[in-house]
Chains A and B, each alone.
Chain A
Amino acid sequence: MSNILEVNGLCADVGRFSLKNIDLVLEPGTIMGFIGKNGAGKTTFIKTILDIIPKKSGTVKFFGKSVAEAEKETKSRVGVVFDSLIYPQSYRAKTVKNTIAAFYKDFDDAKWRRLMQKFELDEKMKLNEYSKGMQMKFQIVMALAHNPDLLILDEPTAGLDPVARTQFLDMLYDIISNDCKSVLFSTHITSDLDKIADYITMIDGGQIIFSRAKDEMLDHYALVHIEKEKADERVKSMFLGFHETSSGLEGVMKKVLAQSLDCVKTAKPTVEDIMVYQSMALKQ
């Protein structure tokens, strides 16, 4: 079975920003968290693989085929949610559905209605009458109603307040776990991925920093706190990234290295710890 998404040597230029030689593979049935700080290149990458931004070089294949080779087929199997509404806002939700559904062979009207009810969205309301959270929910409904094999989420929780974000994520997890085959979830809020991601890929400055299985990655590293007087240059060089506090040094290092040190406090890192300290390391 071919990979859901396969990117090789992808390069693109958008103004002064560039994507540099990106390789990425998304296997069937997996959820990949695509992380990076603001401006790291997450949205540019997504727009480039979707052919919204022209690529300079490299190949992008969805389901074993390039977009140019089978644009209609590949795009009908992909659901996309951007960080802002892409539908005409002066239209009622139902009108948007009727308009867009015509383009999808597998658009499931009953499922659309079911999801609208689940997300408590009024189909008679105009999209500009929806709150930001409701607009994001509507995008999810539209993306899922044509039964995509791949769901691409580009910072769907950005701009939502904590309550709306939690509600939104709970419903999203519920739907993803029951419904969707593969997901590429781009976010800089890494806690969104804690529950669901199988793989984590980090991008910074338009380059992939790492791409690996989440659990393996979290087992591989340790969050380490070491007292100031014990933090000599040798110890500092063992960190992936660190920052200095009043009492010492705190950062992430390989678990095996942490185990070789005496008198250190260790804890299991989160995806956020790894992203933050990796970014610091790149800056240093």
Chain B
Amino acid sequence: MNDCERFFLKINRKYLIADLIAMAVFTVFGGGWLIAVIFYAVSIEVCGMNYLLVLHFSGDDGDALNLAKTLPIERRVFYRSYIKMMVLQTAVSSAVYATGTVIGNVYGLRIPFLPDFLLPSGTMLSTLGYYALILCLVLWVFIIMSGFPNRCSAIKRSMLIIGTIYIPIVFEVFYLLFLVIAGLILQKSLTYQVFAGISVAALFAMAAVFGIFVKRNLKKFVTK
């Protein structure tokens, strides 16, 4: 673990603890509700922005990025740690939520105190439907939001876009991947597996776009 990763964990300690508590609660009550995904999106956004803001990695112009650039951190490492920690947080959250969903459905641990439409679906199809819908909404809101701070630097805007738009896609990839693995373990039907496989492949393609975006942004970040 490098200095930047330790720094990420240190400044987000309180948020990460809250995140763990929330994950435990969501898991006990059935796992991957849509509300859990929204909570997750907000949580990861808070942690990511906190990482950037504490080091003053923000400002209305490019030369206002003082503290982060005076610290003995290689910019490449600073940037990579940002992506790495957010993806790691995503992986852990989605694994926990997916496990919670599976356990909830198989063993009936789910406590239906929320309206039906907020409960995790028992089938891959409706789960995907829920998540696709919410993802679209979240993406549109964030696309509009990330366009608002038009006075901020291109780098900050790119960082915001990574945090707010692309990371939820990675979440989807992980979430579905874990569901597929769970499906395999539980020996679900062939149709289920084929459908899930196609979904995961599509999401991997989206993740590849994310990868290209991250790489291009890294180049911009290191040279500006």
Which A residues are closer than 8 A to B by beta carbons? Answer: 14, 44, 47, 50-54, 71-76, 78, 80, 82, 86-88, 91, 99-100, 102-104
Q: Which residues of B contact A100 (CB under 8 A)?
A: 71
Contact, CB under 8 Å: A54 / B223: yes
Q: How far is the CB of B218 from chain A (nearest CB, A)?
A: 15
Can you list 18 contacts pairing A with B, beta carbon distance less than 8 Å? A14-B63, A50-B69, A50-B70, A52-B66, A52-B70, A53-B63, A54-B223, A71-B75, A72-B73, A75-B70, A75-B73, A82-B66, A86-B70, A88-B53, A88-B54, A99-B11, A102-B10, A103-B73
Contact, CB under 8 Å: B56 / A102: no
Beyond contacts A52-B65, A71-B74, A72-B73: 13 other A-B pairs, Cβ-Cβ < 8 A, are A52-B70, A54-B224, A71-B73, A75-B73, A76-B72, A80-B70, A86-B67, A91-B54, A99-B7, A102-B3, A102-B7, A102-B10, A103-B71
CA distance A71 to B56 in the complex (A): 19
CA distance A104 to B73 in the complex (A): 9
A43's nearest neighbour on chain B, judged by CB, is B63
CA distance A52 to B71 in the complex (A): 11
CA distance A104 to B72 in the complex (A): 7
Q: Does B6 reach chain A (CB closer than 8 Å)?
A: yes
Cross-chain contact of B72 among A14, A52, A75, A99 (Cβ < 8 A): A75
Given known A54-B223, A75-B71, A103-B72, contact A86–B66 (CB-CB < 8 A): yes
Q: How far is the CB of A85 from chain B (nearest CB, A)?
A: 9
Contact, CB under 8 Å: B53 / A72: no
Interface of B is mostly: helix
Q: How far is the CB of A30 from chain B (nearest CB, A)?
A: 22
Q: How far is the CB of A155 from chain B (nearest CB, A)?
A: 14
Q: How far is the CB of A72 from chain B (nearest CB, A)?
A: 5
Q: How far is the CB of B139 from chain A (nearest CB, A)?
A: 30
Q: How far is the CB of B13 from chain A (nearest CB, A)?
A: 11
Q: How large is the interface on B (under 10, 10 to 19, 20 to 34, 35 or more residues)?
A: 20 to 34
Q: Which residues of B contact A72 (CB under 8 A)?
A: 72-74
Q: How far is the CB of A213 from chain B (nearest CB, A)?
A: 29
Q: Which residues of B contact A54 (CB under 8 A)?
A: 223-224
Contact, CB under 8 Å: A103 / B3: yes
CA distance A47 to B224 in the complex (A): 12
Q: How far is the CB of B91 from chain A (nearest CB, A)?
A: 25
Cross-chain contact of A88 among B56, B62, B71, B73 (Cβ < 8 A): B56
CA distance A91 to B11 in the complex (A): 11
Cross-chain contact of B69 among A44, A52, A76, A87 (Cβ < 8 A): A52
Q: Which residues of B contact A71 (CB under 8 A)?
A: 72-75
B65's nearest neighbour on chain A, judged by CB, is A52
Q: Which residues of B contact A44 (CB under 8 A)?
A: 63
Q: Mark B1-33, 1 if CB is under 8 A from A, else 0.
A: 001001100110000000000000000000000
Q: Which residues of B contact A50 (CB under 8 A)?
A: 69-70
A80's nearest neighbour on chain B, judged by CB, is B70
Q: How far is the CB of B71 from chain A (nearest CB, A)?
A: 5
Q: How far is the CB of A236 from chain B (nearest CB, A)?
A: 41
B63's nearest neighbour on chain A, judged by CB, is A53
Q: Which residues of B contact A14 (CB under 8 A)?
A: 63
A104's nearest neighbour on chain B, judged by CB, is B72
Q: Which of A54, A74, A78, A86 has the most CB of B within 10 A?
A: A86
B73's nearest neighbour on chain A, judged by CB, is A103
CA distance A82 to B65 in the complex (A): 12
